[in-house]
Amino acid sequence: MTYVVIDNCIACKYTDCVEVCPVDCFYEGENMLVIHPDECIDCGVCEPECPADAIRPDTEPDMEKWVEFNRKYSELWPVIISKKDQLPEAEERDGEPDKLNKYFSEAPGEGG
């Protein structure tokens, strides 16, 4: 099992999860985070820390596409190990439907 970040992270990018991760398996895009599924140790400490409820175990239904999504971008984006401020529109965009099609950016974040 692994944990993955799903589309509710897009345009929010809270980083509370990054601070508690014992193996530094989060990677930063311009407007979201992903988890490297091969680095995640399945501890689950990140899941309750996400204010946007955007982290799920891969055992939930329909998570296969998110495992591959997280794998793809974790290999392209820089690792993030320190908490940062969420995006300015985070509260407004939290829970908004279809964020993948509306807002997702493939651009890397700064990492750090």
pLDDT digits (tens, 9 = 90+) for 14-40: 999 999 999 999 999 999 999 999 999
Q: What is the pTM of this model?
A: 0.96
Sign of the dihedral through C-alpha 55, 59, 63, 64? positive
Residue 15 vs residues 44, 52, 61, 108: alpha-carbon distances, Å: 15, 10, 25, 15
What percent of the chain clears pLDDT 70, i.e. is strictly above it? 100
Q: How confident is the model over 31-52, as a mean pLDDT?
A: 98
Residue keyed to tokens 């398996």: 25
CATH of 3-83, one of 3.90.1150.10, 3.40.1160.10, 3.30.70.20, 1.10.10.10: 3.30.70.20
Name the phi and psi angles at 69, rounded to 5: -60, -50
Domain extents in the chain: 3-83
- Confidence (pLDDT) at 99: 98
Hey, which bits of the chain come out as E strands?
Answer: 3-5, 26-28, 33-35, 55-57
